[in-house]
Structure 1
Amino acid sequence: MNEESNTPMKHSGRPTQTDIDYSDPATWTSHDDQLRQQLVQHGPMQIFDMRFPRDKTRGNFSSFHYQRHLPAGEVMHRKWLQYSVSTESVMCFCCKLVGLKRISSLSSIGLRVWKNLSSLLSSHEKLPDHLDNVGKWKELEQRLKKHKTIDDETRCARERVENYCKEILELLIALVRVLGVQNLSFRGTNEKLHSAGIGNFLKFVELIALFDPFMSEHLCKMRNEETHVHYLGKNIQNELIDILANAIKEEILRNAHAAKYFSIILDSTPDMSQVEQMTAIIRFV
């Protein structure tokens, strides 16, 4: 019997699939995408060196049926045909795995009619649904070889979006740090780009776009309404300020806790709207 040892199959975040018998399609009870991809990647496994059991009519399967004999004398290998030891029947690899509907016993419970098996197999492999399933099987097989399955394409698209957003946020975080260090105001009387009175934050964004192709492309997408997530609004500015402020506070407190002695000075002064703003100064050695 041409068999391989059963290989455990693991899914990320799913129960582990154990004891996969590649040579017995009747044992493939689950048809989730992970199992389907692994089976297609491994390919159908046919049994040759075995004494196939006889049924009540004294008939049995023969490895002769793995081949299709054409009228011109040509011989084609039926790679899709598999024998199931557990059910003592034959099944169609592609129709069982990728077929959307069960077109015959070969795609579901298995076929055990040995007397007319040749004609039944010949009829099955001429069915339009079977030919369509063979095409889907081969397409998936090629995609897996080139690592271009739908899941891979979705993951790559998600990673491109994540990297794009990361690049934009890194530029904006650097800009927030510069404005904070220089003690400059962020917003003006207008929040529309390329307008008067837009404030330092947006004005510096326009300046960066003059020399940075990535930011220039981002502003172009905004103008063409290709994206509505631009990270330039006042809420994002406030969130970035808070994140950086908290990071600075945590670093100051960490150093203060590590120091043996420290002192605290509190002071307050009114801002432009005459609201008292308290300042805490920590001095440590």
Structure 2
Amino acid sequence: MSDKYYAPHGGHPGQDQLLSGRATFTNSYAVLPRGVMWDIVASYLPGWDKTRLWVLARPMTGFAETFAQYSMEVSPGGGSDAPEPDPQAQAVLFVTEGEATITLDGQDHVLTPGGYAYLPPDSGWTLKNHGDDILRFNWIRKRYEAVPGLDAPDAIFTNENDVEPNAMPGTEGKWTTTRFVDPSDMRHDMHVNIVNMEPGAVIPFMETHVMEHGLTVLEGKAVYRLNNDWVEVEAGDFLWLRAFCPQACYAGGTSRFRYLLYKDVNRHPRLGLLTTHLRRGAE
């Protein structure tokens, strides 16, 4: 297990363990603590060899609707020649353990821990584990929302160690964000960043906004305010937040608190229900 990135390793709880835990599902947020990711709840996908996964989030009507997120585990020699079945889906991959070889347009890109890849829709990428160790990574999927006059984004392959974090104003560098995509690039309709908080740092107000979140704790521990509740979280936990869920955070541990953060950005909210009613009226 990496000290810098936590990833689930499965297994099975003993009969002597208590049934109580921190798993929570409400109408505004869900917490999937690391202690629920056992072998018995792992999933498998067609077209993937020597691979299992934990599905952390999927679109759900009335909750978070824009994305799906998986914690992937690929054994040596495993992977897929056709990983993405939806030609409209874009992807972000973030490696926590092992080595991923992603092939795109005939070129291999090797990602090690901290490695980040953005993969445009309908790009025909493949992924293999050519290493000797198990590969573990986060896979975030979202259907791309095309805009007339804007091309789809280019692929990105990098590592967080090669990206300089941006300090949040007035925090003296105690709260920083590692951004893999230029926020002003309107081609992108989702961002996946890493938020870094030193011990004692705080998100000092109740953020309440339209963006949905998938939040994977990579390192450390903290106390999160979610809607009306204070929730303790630690490395390996996953937080799933619907739009407008009030949220704040206090990094109360003795080491850094860091998490991988998905959010949907740069597009009009869809007016599907209104459009349907107007269409029916015209008929």
TM-score by length of 1: 0.22
Q: Which has the higher strand share?
A: 2
TM-score by length of 2: 0.22
Q: With a CA cutoff of 8 Å and minimum separation of 6, indicate the structure with the bigger relative contact order.
A: 2
- The higher radius of gyration belongs to 1
